[in-house]
Structures are given as structure tokens and as C-alpha cells.
Structure 1
Amino acid sequence: MFPDDSLQSIIQPSDWWIKNESKKLCRGALVFVFAPHVDQIPYTFEPVGRSVPTEHTSATVMVSPLKIGQPLNKTNLPVAAMTTFEGEVWAAYRAKKRPSLVFSSESIPVHKALTRGKPNHATSPTFLAAPYYGIDQNGKRAGYNPEFVERVRHCEYPQFHWDKLPMSGNKESLLRLDHLQPFGVHHDSYAVSDYMLSADAMDILDDLLRWLIWGGVSAESMILAYRELIESNFDS
């Protein structure tokens, strides 16, 4: 399933993907979520008129860049479904249902006695996952340059990880570790697939994340041995 020059080959004969027998949200699980696309400059939308002049439940909105230095203008148009508080704005993102890898499952719940009378969103549990992006170019997506994909497969960039997902024909995908983000744990927020990473595979991904966040891996990391092997056999 995986080529000899891939990071996955270094844990053989251990499996990379295994069945998620419990079908539960857990570390290493492959799940589906609506992952937002992260733009270099975020967008905001604000109500500029009502769809029906006499109703307060819907509005016509204007989408515009949300720049960090711009003043936040409070709208004078009341819309019941678009209430914001001091210092808040509505943010606009494109999102797509993507396969994603769970790094941290549901967080430890806070005792209700400690949150009584406070808004739920302030302590609502989440899980952390990073999304996969397909590499193929077609009429719907730009894909990735083959030379870049090879460099990712050879583990040159800690923010990217090359993989073949265990469904839909084992198509190649890139995991964006720098898109690691929280998702709600409500059952309507995600869907668990039949697969998860093995313990050995998850150790490798943890090392990649450590490299991305702290700028390096431990001297015992298998990634170092893999990189030495690649550098001795491939031109950079």
C-alpha cells in the first residue's frame, strides 16, 4: 500500500492504519468534520438590510476582509439571529467535509457546580483534529505539484504529512498539522470512520507535531533515521 520511500515504511511490519473496532472518538481516529479553510486574512459579514423589512430573524449581509487593525463598527440594524457582544464580530469561512485525524479526544468535563450561571460555550468540551487534503488536480480543486508532494512524502516539512487514506481507493492525501483545530463533541459535529492509526503510526505523527511546535524531535525519533536514509538516496 505504501512505497518504500514513505515515512509509513519505517514501522513495517506494523500496520499504519487499523480498524477502529469501538467506532468511538479517540486519539488516532479518522473522522469526518466540516473543516474551515483558513485564509491569510479572515472575512467578516455584517447585516446591511433585512430580507423582509418587518422581520428580525433574517438579513442581507455584506462579506468583507476582517483586518486586525480596523475599527469594529457596531451595526445599528437589529437582527435577532445575529446578536453579538462587545468586541465580537461574525466571521465568515469556507468549510468542507474532510477526513481528519484526531490528536486529542473529548476534553475533561468541568464540574457543573463550577459553571453554574455561566454560558455553556465558555467551557464546552472539544476535540483536536487536523484535516486531510486530496492531492489530485481536477475540475473542482487545484491539487498539489508532484515535486512538492514527493518532498512532503520525504518528510521535509513538519506541517505536512503524506498519506494514503484507507478508503475511497486509497487516494493520496496531505495532512495539514498546522491546521490542527478544535471541533465540538456533539454527535452532529463529526462522524467516526471505520479506521484509526496504529499506536506505532501515532507515535510518528506525535513526533511530527512536536517538530512543528518545538522545532525538532528527540534524538531517538525514527524520523531522524528516516531522514538520513532519504538524504543518502535522494537529491534534495
Structure 2
Amino acid sequence: MTRVFIDEFIDPFFEEIIDNYRNAFLRGQFFWCHFPYIHENLEIWRPVSYDGTQTRASHFQISSAGEDAFNRSMPLYNPKLETDEEFIVVRAKRRPIILITPSPEEIRTNLLRGGTKINRHLCLVAPLYSVIGKYGNIKFPQEFIDRVRLMEFPQFFFIPENTKYGIRSSILRLDSLQAVFENHLDPLPLKLSKLAIDILQGQIECFINGKENTNYETLRELLLNPD
């Protein structure tokens, strides 16, 4: 029996957002956003040049996180850094993401002076990693890409290309969900179709909390075992 992939089964896979897409913030909507790489080896920026008080630093250098990481002997006041804090070395890239959860409604309450901020206007997003590079080079083995398209892996969701809005065929990584500030998102008038969102939400529930009997599981079984 001929194999059918998720991007062939779900048709249409995308929908355009006609009205007010910049302020819509819909589940399944596409955005561009800077997104950090996750580094396995922790590196930190450590101050190497101070003023006379040893509380103001003017120069930093990258160093591997040693035994005293997050346990420094002196705080900094400029830039502000407590003894149990570090400046982490991270690298980021602007890439397409899909909105998983919009920013919650604002909680109206009195704040404590000097207390912790309650409303942060954060969204939960998942990043796209293209399977084809900008110069046409394939970035993953074709056999692996096909297995993602068959929904074999609960942490990966295949996204077909959408040339109109510059989305290359990609793998959506649910193992890299991240909170980002709403005002960092650059919206596109494009979102997943109703069926695609339904399948993705079922996959998220299965991946995160092991929920069973979702439309995701039904489609996954159909694609992996068509006979």
C-alpha cells in the first residue's frame, strides 16, 4: 500500500489570516522571532576588569562554568549581577515559530513594592528547523524526514513549505518549546488549518502529559500502519 504522509493527508495544511493578523495572536499562527540555541556545554561571561570598588565591571570574557558558577563572592552593581547569578553565553537566530499558547489575560491585582512582576505578557512557542538549507542543501537524512512525515516521533511535527510566506519545509520541535515576550514576535498572516491545529494540539498533549485517545494518535496509527 502506498504510504501517505501527514502533509498529504491534511489538506489544506495552512489558512491565511484575513483580518488584523498583526494583533490576532492565534494558536497555530506563524511568526518570526529571534530564538536561542540550546548549548549543552554551559559558558558564562565573567568580569575581568573592575573599578576601585570591585562592584562595577567594564570588561568581560567567556569562560567555562566552573565550581563557583552561580556562587560568586561579590555582587556587581553595574551591570547588576547578584552572587547567585551569571551572564550566560547564548547564540540566537531569527527563525519562524508557531504560537502554541497566547499570552494569558492580564491579572488585575495590587503589586507589592519591590515585589515580583505578575503579568509578563509571555507566549509559548515552538521553533521550526528547515529540512532544506537556504542554498538547497538537505539538512537531515531523507529517511528520517519521511519518518517525521509519518508521525513516528512525538517530539517532531512536520511542516510543509509555504512559498508565499517564506516558510521552507521544516520540522517543528516540541522538545524546544519556549516562552517569549509577545512584543518580540513578528507576525505573518498565516496559520495552520483547523485540522492541522487539532492534530498538533493532540500531539502536544501526548508528548507533554501522555494523554491518550486523541486525533493525533488516530492519525499516527493510520499513517504508520496503513494495512
The answer, yes or no, to whether TM exceeds 0.5 is: yes
Opposite residue 74 of structure 1, the aligned amino acid is R
Structure 2 residue 13 is the aligned partner of structure 1 residue 19: no
1:52-108: CA deviation from partner (whole Å, max 9, x where unpaired): xxxx57422223247xx7653426584612x12252222221111110000111122
Per the alignment, residue 127 of structure 1 pairs with 123
Query: Match for 1:109 among 106, 111, 119?
Result: 106
CA distance in structure 2 between the partners assigned to 1:193 and 1:75 by the alignment = 47
- Any residues of structure 2 matched to 1:1-236 within 5 Å, and which? 5-12=4-11, 15-21=12-18, 22-23=20-21, 24=23, 25-49=25-49, 56=56, 58-65=58-65, 71-74=69-72, 76=74, 78=76, 80-81=78-79, 83-113=80-110, 115-119=111-115, 121=117, 123-137=119-133, 143-167=139-163, 171-185=168-182, 187=183, 189-218=184-213, 220-232=214-226
CA distance in structure 2 between the partners assigned to 1:126 and 1:153 by the alignment = 30
1:139-170: CA deviation from partner (whole Å, max 9, x where unpaired): 89982121111111111111111112423665
Q: CA deviation at 1:224?
A: 2.3
Opposite residue 191 of structure 1, the aligned amino acid is D
Q: Secondary structure at the match of 1:201?
A: helix
Q: Is the 8 A contact 2:57 2:76 kept in 1?
A: no
Q: Secondary structure at the match of 2:162?
A: coil
CA distance in structure 2 between the partners assigned to 1:17 and 1:91 by the alignment = 37
1:36-67: CA deviation from partner (whole Å, max 9, x where unpaired): 1112243322212269xxxx57422223247x
Q: Secondary structure at the match of 1:59?
A: strand
CA distance in structure 2 between the partners assigned to 1:107 and 1:32 by the alignment = 20
CA distance in structure 1 between the partners assigned to 2:222 and 2:205 by the alignment = 19
CA distance in structure 2 between the partners assigned to 1:64 and 1:121 by the alignment = 31
Q: Secondary structure at the match of 1:108?
A: coil
Q: CA deviation at 1:120?
A: 6.0
Opposite residue 200 of structure 2, the aligned amino acid is L
Tell which deviates more after alignment, 154-163 or 141-150.
141-150
**Percent identical:** 21
CA distance in structure 2 between the partners assigned to 1:198 and 1:181 by the alignment = 22
Q: Is the 8 A contact 2:70 2:83 kept in 1?
A: no
Q: Is the 8 A contact 1:137 1:144 kept in 2?
A: no
Q: Residues 170 and 31 of structure 1: is their aligned pair in 2 closer, same or farther, counting only changes over 3 Å?
A: closer
Q: Is the 8 A contact 1:10 1:226 kept in 2?
A: no
TM-score, with structure 1 as normaliser: 0.78
Tell which deviates more after alignment, 36-45 or 221-230.
221-230
CA RMSD of aligned residues (A): 3.1
Unmatched 5+ stretches in structure 2: none
Alignment coverage as a number of residue pairs = 218
